[in-house]
Structure 1
């Protein structure tokens, strides 16, 4: 019985040792080779003194080294922390400090940028490329040096399915990113649940185009390894590159977020590109009906799976392909191993067409937020169907998403009950954006919020109060450059406006309700003006 994610690879290495497991560019690793690399690196971690549940952070683009590092951390009994490669040093520094990582796996260029924000808890930095200038350092190792530390005869520890395996960082409605803490069981059951309704098999070849730090992206690996299929790692800049790789690598399963699907829907799919494609999936935001119809028209034999989830409980719902065009706005029903409730303001389960908060219960629910009891208590509460006679808490995660259901039980997303911005597949904290822009010398006050955007889900608007007498054009350019230096692209405002004073409500807080109403159609207006030009 498979209980840990590294066992997924080990089992496949015994069943199909010479079959491809992961690919990158023109290289492929077989399951036997991948398993050998994982176990060697796990022994190297143990030689470095990695203790049970210590955190190993991986700050790399999608590559063999990032996958091997993650699964080796699991095999050594550590907790892996994948960090989105597009994050800037302030965000990376926060994550490293928050989880008290002791080992950082990264590249030379990234290490140089991070030097000023590295916390004291870091004992070793492992660079996956050239380390010539660090040869005398006792704390900076090359990928090759790390491998030489492995003791071939040493045994790996026994890992329990209840052991903490990973911390995935996700933005909240306020403050910096929080670490969602997941057990081995969370990850294994998540893979099994999705693989079940996708009907995954060893003949599948998945394209991993999403960040590994995104649970939706990471699950492409676990689903693939669970079924004995293969997974191709790919970073892209333009949507057309995706179509080329789907065709070139004979991809059967493609998982993306709405932003990418919107771009792909406007491109022509050669018959050869989709002839091997068995299914496509969407998560990280709703897919427009227009985009869905275009995709189905371009790929008539491909099954579309529309999914909804949150990092705190992996995946919650999916809409079967046969319902996609019938109910294109639905997020579907609960996936296997999930129990979904819609709870109203009185704490009661909603009737059909009554709006309430989506609550997810069951074994996919995370342990909570790393070192953040206050937010854990706020989001993780007793399950609505708990058995009072059972002493254990039976926790559920309260999503903050307002949904409704029809008489047949299909659910529909309505909105959020907090200020969270959902853009390009990411959940973004307005406060995190505000805290960065506020450091600009010319900024007196700043408020950030999301409004509807056709392609992004929500576009980020920043309204900034500035010192009088400044030239707006110069200031706009300066602030955009500042955001480019200190914020990842997906957090940078899509529209910036200036004012003397930001409106506030009677409680003295920014009046976001009025501001959202004022800027509700700003991106539609911008699009219309561009068309007129």
Structure 2
């Protein structure tokens, strides 16, 4: 009789012990540019980094931030910080000074470890009070030389382990608080429904500052497999890495899948793949067809998730061809309800809000009770778990056979190339230039990106001054936030309440 995954949460750092206990100590665990660590060596590096962190940041629960490309530091820190009783704050390496300064200030980080160039881009005013900075290579060297080991933690699974910053539809990035249990059970759940095994090799192409990206590490190591972290410049780099390392598991977002399907894949690159996973936006029917054609032997897992609850649903690969637009059903440890306007569970094919209940629900937003109360509310009476639930703001339907289908979003979030972008962040950057008086950022449907950022502004009518806006935004915003187009207006349309009519502007741009 087949049983489900173990629902018992454990301290997150115990993941590095699991493979060793199962006799996988000498098997590859992490493939870096200049070396390969087996699971025994991975555990030793985590021990030493945790011991050094304990000496440098002795306060339990203190926040330690990392701002670096994929490598030993960013791969080890989620476990080392947890082992040391600290809270890891991974910062997207694509972010620039303004966004990083907000994260450091908001989190109250005690230490920031990053690459030299990134640290040099910050000013003293950007750092939170008492925050020490250290270059990545120096930190790893000091941890190795110190030889201070730290044994497995005995943390309460409900203790805070990480704060992942994600954009909202309004305001600056907010920090989602994830416990040891959230991250542990997320790894267990994914490893289970993907059917991962100890011989699997995962190519980690997604940013490790995202829950989807970080789970590439955690679920693979839980299964006893190996991770190959990759920062790529061109899609062909992904295909080359798949051939070089016989990759079995590849996770991506729709825009990257589009680029990958435009390549000529060699048999050495495509044939080892056993599973493809997608989140961060829906796959189109045509894209599903292309993936099935290029990787006929690989199982395709369309998934839906949100950082506030990690992952909510997946579609069984056996149903992809017959139900290509479905979000599937709840993953292990998740309870997904479709709730109508009266707070009741919606009937078959009735539209409602997706509400996620259960142990994968995060602990709220760091130091933000107002926005926490808006998104994290008491579970509906029909919930088997009860407690707090994530009210997603997404409208969905559940068919009679139990499959979920996405209808639309309630908020104005822009989702471009798998990134969640706050319109207000783009607008604030435009207004700060002092070249515009009003600014509206919108997500316009785009075949490759899902949505492209378009910026509508009212301000100077001097052509020379207008030409300065795009370069200024390029300097202030990360690449994925850059407007695809800037539209200058002499006046903004207003709604009956006297506010800028965003719906009218979007209609103008899409008609």
What range is the shorter-chain TM-score in?
A: over 0.9
2-side partners of 1:245 and 1:477: how far apart? 40
Note if 1:489 corresponds to 2:479: yes
**Structure 1 residues 151 and 236, CA, compared in 2 at 3 Å: closer, same or farther?**
closer
Q: Secondary structure at the match of 2:433?
A: coil
Of 274, 279, 290, the match for 2:275: 279
Note if 1:127 corresponds to 2:127: no
Corresponding residue of 2:469: 479
Corresponding residue of 1:397: 390
2-side partners of 1:318 and 1:288: how far apart? 16
2-side partners of 1:387 and 1:290: how far apart? 36
TM-score (norm 2): 0.95
Corresponding residue of 2:141: 144
**Structure 1 residues 502 and 283, CA, compared in 2 at 3 Å: closer, same or farther?**
same
Corresponding residue of 1:229: 225
Could you tell me which runs of 5 or more consecutive residues in structure 1 were left unpaired when the two chains were aligned. Answer: 130-140, 522-533
Of 74, 94, 97, the match for 1:66: 74
C-alpha distance after superposition, 1:422-457 (max 9, x if no partner): 111111111111111111121111011112111111
2-side partners of 1:385 and 1:265: how far apart? 45
**Structure 1 residues 225 and 333, CA, compared in 2 at 3 Å: closer, same or farther?**
same
Corresponding residue of 1:529: none
Corresponding residue of 2:46: 38
Of 1, 22, 25, the match for 1:17: 25
Of 52, 55, 66, the match for 2:63: 55
Note if 1:306 corresponds to 2:302: yes
2-side partners of 1:224 and 1:49: how far apart? 29
The answer (yes or no) to whether the contact 1:253–1:277 under 8 Å persists in 2 is yes
Of 89, 114, 117, the match for 1:109: 117
C-alpha distance after superposition, 1:316-362 (max 9, x if no partner): 00011111121111111111111111112222221222211111001
1-side partners of 2:452 and 2:142: how far apart? 45
**Structure 1 residues 507 and 284, CA, compared in 2 at 3 Å: closer, same or farther?**
same
The answer (yes or no) to whether the contact 2:10–2:157 under 8 Å persists in 1 is yes
Note if 1:248 corresponds to 2:244: yes
- Mapping 1:230-379, distance limit 5 Å: 230-379=226-375
Could you tell me which runs of 5 or more consecutive residues in structure 2 were left unpaired when the two chains were aligned. Answer: 1-7
The answer (yes or no) to whether the contact 2:357–2:386 under 8 Å persists in 1 is no
1-side partners of 2:125 and 2:297: how far apart? 50
1-side partners of 2:465 and 2:221: how far apart? 50
Of 60, 78, 83, the match for 1:75: 83
State the shift of 1:30 in Å. Answer: 1.2
2-side partners of 1:39 and 1:292: how far apart? 42
**Structure 1 residues 343 and 143, CA, compared in 2 at 3 Å: closer, same or farther?**
same
Corresponding residue of 2:403: 410
Task: Name the count of aligned residue pairs.
Answer: 503
1-side partners of 2:93 and 2:430: how far apart? 21
C-alpha distance after superposition, 1:4-43 (max 9, x if no partner): 2211112323432211111123521111111111111111
State the shift of 1:508 in Å. Answer: 2.0
Q: Secondary structure at the match of 1:458?
A: strand
2-side partners of 1:396 and 1:338: how far apart? 11
State the shift of 1:387 in Å. Answer: 7.5
1-side partners of 2:131 and 2:78: how far apart? 18
Corresponding residue of 1:526: none
Q: Secondary structure at the match of 2:305?
A: strand
Corresponding residue of 1:138: none
2-side partners of 1:58 and 1:191: how far apart? 21
State the shift of 1:178 in Å. Answer: 0.4
Q: CA RMSD in A?
A: 1.8
Corresponding residue of 2:14: 7
| Runs of 4+ with deviation above 6 angstroms | none
Q: Secondary structure at the match of 1:330?
A: coil
The answer (yes or no) to whether the contact 1:126–1:146 under 8 Å persists in 2 is no
State the shift of 1:512 in Å. Answer: 0.8
Corresponding residue of 2:3: none
C-alpha distance after superposition, 1:290-339 (max 9, x if no partner): 11101111111111100000000000000111111211111111111111
Deviates more, 1:509-518 or 1:112-121: 112-121
The answer (yes or no) to whether the contact 2:96–2:476 under 8 Å persists in 1 is yes
Corresponding residue of 1:528: none
